[in-house]
Amino acid sequence: MKVPISRASKELGVSIDTLRRWEREGKFTSERTPGGHRRYDLNKLQKIANKEREDEKITVIYARVSTPNKKDDLKSQIKRLEMFCASKGWKYKIIQDIGSGLNYKKNGLLELIKLIETDQIERIIVNYKDRLLRFGTELLFEICKHHNIEIVILNEDEEKTYEEELVEDVLSIITVFSAKLYGSRSHKNKKVVSEAKKLFKERD
Protein backbone atom coordinates (compact mmCIF):
# COMPACT_ATOMS: atom_id res chain seq x y z
CA MET A 1 0.00 0.00 0.00
CA LYS A 2 1.39 3.39 -1.04
CA VAL A 3 0.47 6.22 1.34
CA PRO A 4 1.44 9.85 2.04
CA ILE A 5 4.20 10.49 4.59
CA SER A 6 1.72 11.75 7.21
CA ARG A 7 -0.24 8.49 7.15
CA ALA A 8 2.96 6.39 7.11
CA SER A 9 4.13 8.27 10.20
CA LYS A 10 0.83 7.64 12.01
CA GLU A 11 0.59 3.96 11.02
CA LEU A 12 4.18 3.16 12.04
CA GLY A 13 4.33 5.30 15.16
CA VAL A 14 7.47 7.15 14.04
CA SER A 15 7.97 10.82 13.27
CA ILE A 16 7.97 12.32 9.79
CA ASP A 17 11.54 13.50 10.41
CA THR A 18 12.56 9.90 11.13
CA LEU A 19 11.03 8.69 7.84
CA ARG A 20 12.85 11.41 5.93
CA ARG A 21 16.10 10.48 7.66
CA TRP A 22 15.67 6.81 6.70
CA GLU A 23 15.14 7.88 3.09
CA ARG A 24 18.28 10.06 3.14
CA GLU A 25 20.23 7.11 4.56
CA GLY A 26 19.09 5.00 1.61
CA LYS A 27 17.02 2.54 3.62
CA PHE A 28 14.15 2.94 1.17
CA THR A 29 13.09 5.05 -1.82
CA SER A 30 9.78 6.86 -2.05
CA GLU A 31 7.79 7.05 -5.26
CA ARG A 32 6.15 10.07 -6.85
CA THR A 33 2.65 10.41 -8.22
CA PRO A 34 2.07 12.03 -11.61
CA GLY A 35 1.33 15.19 -9.66
CA GLY A 36 4.75 15.08 -7.98
CA HIS A 37 3.61 13.96 -4.52
CA ARG A 38 5.71 11.42 -2.60
CA ARG A 39 4.19 8.07 -1.73
CA TYR A 40 5.58 5.52 0.70
CA ASP A 41 5.28 1.74 0.59
CA LEU A 42 3.77 0.96 4.00
CA ASN A 43 4.72 -2.74 3.95
CA LYS A 44 8.40 -2.00 3.28
CA LEU A 45 8.47 0.73 5.89
CA GLN A 46 6.92 -1.60 8.48
CA LYS A 47 9.81 -4.03 8.04
CA ILE A 48 12.34 -1.21 8.38
CA ALA A 49 10.58 0.13 11.49
CA ASN A 50 10.55 -3.32 13.12
CA LYS A 51 14.27 -3.78 12.45
CA GLU A 52 15.07 -0.31 13.81
CA ARG A 53 13.17 -1.03 17.00
CA GLU A 54 15.01 -4.34 17.46
CA ASP A 55 18.38 -2.66 16.90
CA GLU A 56 17.56 0.03 19.46
CA LYS A 57 16.62 -2.41 22.23
CA ILE A 58 18.97 -2.63 25.20
CA THR A 59 20.26 -5.17 27.68
CA VAL A 60 19.42 -4.31 31.28
CA ILE A 61 21.35 -5.61 34.26
CA TYR A 62 19.36 -5.43 37.46
CA ALA A 63 20.89 -5.67 40.92
CA ARG A 64 19.28 -5.30 44.34
CA VAL A 65 20.12 -5.55 48.02
CA SER A 66 17.69 -5.26 50.90
CA THR A 67 19.46 -2.69 53.09
CA PRO A 68 22.00 0.16 52.74
CA ASN A 69 24.59 -1.73 54.80
CA LYS A 70 24.86 -4.24 51.93
CA LYS A 71 26.17 -1.76 49.38
CA ASP A 72 29.37 -3.78 48.97
CA ASP A 73 27.27 -6.76 47.90
CA LEU A 74 25.42 -4.50 45.46
CA LYS A 75 28.73 -3.47 43.90
CA SER A 76 29.77 -7.12 43.64
CA GLN A 77 26.51 -8.04 41.92
CA ILE A 78 26.92 -5.24 39.39
CA LYS A 79 30.55 -6.14 38.73
CA ARG A 80 29.66 -9.79 37.97
CA LEU A 81 26.84 -8.72 35.68
CA GLU A 82 29.04 -6.21 33.86
CA MET A 83 31.75 -8.81 33.31
CA PHE A 84 29.18 -11.23 31.89
CA CYS A 85 27.83 -8.59 29.48
CA ALA A 86 31.37 -7.66 28.43
CA SER A 87 32.12 -11.31 27.65
CA LYS A 88 29.09 -11.36 25.32
CA GLY A 89 29.84 -8.00 23.76
CA TRP A 90 26.49 -6.56 24.90
CA LYS A 91 25.88 -2.90 25.55
CA TYR A 92 23.89 -2.51 28.74
CA LYS A 93 22.08 -0.24 31.15
CA ILE A 94 22.46 -0.67 34.91
CA ILE A 95 19.37 -0.50 37.11
CA GLN A 96 19.83 -0.98 40.84
CA ASP A 97 17.70 -0.88 43.97
CA ILE A 98 18.18 -0.85 47.71
CA GLY A 99 15.07 -2.22 49.35
CA SER A 100 13.05 -5.28 50.27
CA GLY A 101 12.14 -7.80 47.61
CA LEU A 102 8.57 -7.44 48.89
CA ASN A 103 8.47 -3.75 47.95
CA TYR A 104 6.88 -3.31 44.52
CA LYS A 105 7.42 0.47 44.43
CA LYS A 106 11.21 0.66 44.27
CA ASN A 107 12.41 3.28 41.78
CA GLY A 108 14.64 0.88 39.87
CA LEU A 109 11.94 -1.78 39.57
CA LEU A 110 9.41 0.79 38.34
CA GLU A 111 11.92 2.03 35.76
CA LEU A 112 12.49 -1.56 34.63
CA ILE A 113 8.74 -2.21 34.25
CA LYS A 114 8.35 0.97 32.21
CA LEU A 115 11.14 -0.14 29.84
CA ILE A 116 9.48 -3.56 29.51
CA GLU A 117 6.06 -2.10 28.73
CA THR A 118 7.49 0.28 26.09
CA ASP A 119 9.38 -2.54 24.31
CA GLN A 120 12.82 -1.05 24.88
CA ILE A 121 14.51 -4.17 26.31
CA GLU A 122 16.06 -7.14 24.54
CA ARG A 123 17.13 -9.01 27.67
CA ILE A 124 17.31 -8.68 31.46
CA ILE A 125 20.23 -10.15 33.41
CA VAL A 126 20.22 -10.80 37.16
CA ASN A 127 22.48 -12.73 39.50
CA TYR A 128 19.60 -14.43 41.29
CA LYS A 129 15.92 -14.87 40.50
CA ASP A 130 14.76 -13.13 43.66
CA ARG A 131 16.74 -9.98 42.86
CA LEU A 132 13.75 -8.84 40.82
CA LEU A 133 11.04 -9.69 43.35
CA ARG A 134 10.78 -11.94 46.37
CA PHE A 135 7.37 -13.14 45.18
CA GLY A 136 5.74 -12.56 41.81
CA THR A 137 8.76 -13.15 39.56
CA GLU A 138 6.83 -15.71 37.50
CA LEU A 139 4.24 -13.08 36.62
CA LEU A 140 6.98 -10.64 35.63
CA PHE A 141 8.62 -13.36 33.52
CA GLU A 142 5.33 -13.96 31.70
CA ILE A 143 5.09 -10.27 30.89
CA CYS A 144 8.66 -10.36 29.59
CA LYS A 145 7.78 -13.41 27.47
CA HIS A 146 4.90 -11.47 25.93
CA HIS A 147 7.36 -8.71 24.98
CA ASN A 148 9.94 -11.20 23.65
CA ILE A 149 12.43 -10.30 26.38
CA GLU A 150 15.08 -12.87 27.32
CA ILE A 151 15.69 -13.44 31.03
CA VAL A 152 19.23 -14.49 31.98
CA ILE A 153 19.82 -15.73 35.55
CA LEU A 154 23.51 -16.26 36.24
CA ASN A 155 23.06 -18.29 39.43
CA GLU A 156 20.03 -20.54 39.54
CA ASP A 157 20.76 -21.81 43.07
CA GLU A 158 20.03 -19.38 45.87
CA GLU A 159 22.77 -18.75 48.40
CA LYS A 160 22.24 -18.92 52.15
CA THR A 161 22.70 -15.15 52.40
CA TYR A 162 19.42 -14.73 50.54
CA GLU A 163 17.66 -16.99 53.02
CA GLU A 164 18.82 -14.52 55.64
CA GLU A 165 17.45 -11.71 53.51
CA LEU A 166 14.06 -13.46 53.41
CA VAL A 167 14.03 -13.25 57.20
CA GLU A 168 14.68 -9.52 56.92
CA ASP A 169 11.78 -9.18 54.49
CA VAL A 170 9.41 -11.03 56.83
CA LEU A 171 10.57 -8.91 59.76
CA SER A 172 9.90 -5.77 57.74
CA ILE A 173 6.29 -6.94 57.19
CA ILE A 174 5.85 -7.62 60.90
CA THR A 175 7.31 -4.21 61.74
CA VAL A 176 5.01 -2.36 59.34
CA PHE A 177 1.81 -4.11 60.41
CA SER A 178 2.66 -3.89 64.08
CA ALA A 179 3.37 -0.17 63.73
CA LYS A 180 -0.02 0.32 62.05
CA LEU A 181 -1.77 -1.54 64.86
CA TYR A 182 -0.01 -0.04 67.84
CA GLY A 183 1.97 2.97 66.61
CA SER A 184 5.63 2.94 65.61
CA ARG A 185 6.89 4.12 69.02
CA SER A 186 4.52 2.17 71.25
CA HIS A 187 5.70 -0.39 73.77
CA LYS A 188 3.53 -3.11 72.19
CA ASN A 189 5.04 -2.50 68.76
CA LYS A 190 8.58 -2.73 70.09
CA LYS A 191 7.71 -5.90 71.99
CA VAL A 192 6.18 -7.60 68.92
CA VAL A 193 9.21 -6.76 66.76
CA SER A 194 11.61 -7.85 69.49
CA GLU A 195 9.84 -11.19 69.95
CA ALA A 196 9.82 -11.78 66.19
CA LYS A 197 13.56 -11.15 65.96
CA LYS A 198 14.15 -13.45 68.90
CA LEU A 199 12.08 -16.21 67.28
CA PHE A 200 14.03 -16.05 64.01
CA LYS A 201 17.31 -16.00 65.89
CA GLU A 202 16.37 -19.16 67.79
CA ARG A 203 15.55 -20.94 64.52
CA ASP A 204 19.03 -20.24 63.03
Tell me the per-residue pLDDT of 17-27, one tens digit each, with 9 for 90 and over.
Answer: 989 988 898 98
Q: What is the pLDDT of residue 108?
A: 93
Question: In terms of domains, do 121 and 83 share one?
Answer: yes
User: Residue range 180-197: average pLDDT?
Assistant: 68
The whole model's pTM is what? 0.58
- 99's CB contacts (< 8 A; 6+ apart) are 64, 66, 106
Q: Does residue 62 have a pLDDT over 90?
A: yes
Tell me the per-residue pLDDT of 148-185, one tens digit each, with 9 for 90 and over.
Answer: 999 999 885 555 455 666 666 666 666 666 766 767 66
**DSSP notation for 84-116:** HHHHHT--EEEEEEES-TT-TT-HHHHHHHHHH
> Measured in whole angstroms, how far is the alpha carbon of residue 169 from the centre of its chain?
21
Q: Which of 6, 9, 66, 172 is catalytic?
A: 66
| Strand blocks (E) in 55-190 | 58-65, 92-98, 121-126, 150-153
CATH number at residue 179: 1.10.287
User: Residue range 126-143: average pLDDT?
Assistant: 83
Question: In terms of domains, do 97 and 16 share one?
Answer: no
> Measured in whole angstroms, how far is the alpha carbon of residue 39 from the centre of its chain?
39
* 66 counts as catalytic: yes
Number of compact structural domains in the chain: 3
Q: What is the pLDDT of residue 82?
A: 95
Q: Which domain holds residue 189?
A: 160-203
β partners of residue 96: 63
